[in-house]
Amino acid sequence: MNTHRHEPLARLTHVDVRFGRNHVIQNISLELHRGCITTLIGPNGAGKTTLVRVVLGLIQPSRGDVWREPGLRIGYMPQKLHIDQTFPLTVERFLRTARNDDPAALEQALADVGASRLLSQSIHGLSGGEMQRVLLARALLQEPNLLVLDEPVQGVDINGQIELYKLIGRIRDQRGCGVLMISHDLHLVMSSTDHVICMNRHVCCSGHPEQVSNDPSFIEMFGIPGAENLALYSHHHNHKHNAHGDVIKHARDNVKAR
């Protein structure tokens, strides 16, 4: 699907985060690559957002190393952005507070996410899906090497979700940036991701989506119906039966951790 380069954009090695005595994440290692969409899945409280915040540099790990490519530009789309009603703000003005306030880049970013018509609207009147697109446009304005998306489809209806995931895939294709995203929607995200990390404080399993969906720990966490659903889904898309992980199309993501 895309060329694999060995130089990662960011690398976490044996990272622990503790809040007090509470281990939020434990011994997590991962690499993020150019042109590769990595998806974090896991139940509530699994530490997904914490892990993302470590990648972003918003929290320091209690143990382990975080390495980022020098000069790495991150475009970050937070899970939710609450802007106080007391703060009058149009979409244009919101985007112009990003570091890159070149008007042409701004219009391009909005066009890329299919939200050009929102330019002069008040940010307070946007729907969930529109707001997500505007946030994505803002992330693109950073001209990112790495896009970090925390539940990018939250509050968006199902059709909008599929579209947003397609859009994220397109952005990756066009810009060749790496993508790290959190999702809890299993089958929608499976079709648009290269590498899945299934976590519950620690990494339960990781690898190519089809591989992960057949992993016992994944099935244990999300149940067999979920896993079957996924298998069916990938079957539908690849016309290939991978029920036992015998046939693996993308060998490069053959990483398993347990």
Partner 1 sequence: MDDFLLYALIGGLGVAAIAGPLGSFVVWRRMAYFGDTLAHSALLGVALGFLLQINLNLAVVASCVLLALLLVTLQRQRFVATDTLLGIMAHSTLSLGLVAIALLDNVRVDLLSYLFGDLLAISSRDLYWIFAGGALVLLLLWRLWDGLLAITINEELAQVEGVPVARLRLTLMLLIAVVIAAAMKIVGILLITSLLIIPAAAARKLSRTPEQMALLAALLGCLAVAGGLAASWYWDTPAGPSVVVTALAEFLLLYSLPLRRLGPNAG
Q: Which residue lies nearer to partner 1 by CB, 76 or 165? A: 76
> Which CA distances in Å does 109 have to 83, 96, 102, 136, 158?
21, 12, 11, 8, 23
Sign of CA dihedral 172, 249, 222, 32: negative
Interaction residues for partner 1, span 147-166 (CB under 8 A): 148
- Binding residue (CB under 8 A) for partner 1 from 27, 90, 154, 217: 90
Using CB under 8 A, pick the residue from 14, 18, 93, 237 that binds partner 1: 93
How many residues touch partner 1 (CB under 8 A)?
26
x/- string (CB under 8 A) for partner 1, residues 38-77? ------------------xxx---------------x-x-
Count of CA atoms in the C-beta half-sphere (13 A) of 243: 4
Q: DSSP code of 28? A: E
Q: The sheet that has 146-150: what strands, in order across it?
A: 74-77, 146-150, 178-182, 37-41, 195-200, 202-207
Instruction: Tell the smallest beta-carbon distance from residue 184 to partner 1 (Å).
Output: 21
Examine residue 84 and tell whether it contacts partner 1 (CB under 8 A).
yes
- Cβ contacts of 187 within 8 Å, gap of 6 or more: 226, 229, 230, 233
> Which of 109, 196, 200, 188 has its CA nearest to residue 152?
188
Among 43, 88, 216, 223, binds partner 1 (CB under 8 A): 88
User: Which of the stretches 30-38, 85-93, 158-166, 196-204 binds partner 1 when contact is defined by CB under 8 A?
Assistant: 85-93
Out of 122, 174, 238, 254, point to the residue binding partner 1 (CB under 8 A).
122
Query: Which stretches of the chain bind partner 1, using CB under 8 A?
Result: 56-58, 74, 76, 78, 81, 83-84, 86-90, 93-94, 96-99, 101, 120, 122, 138, 142, 148
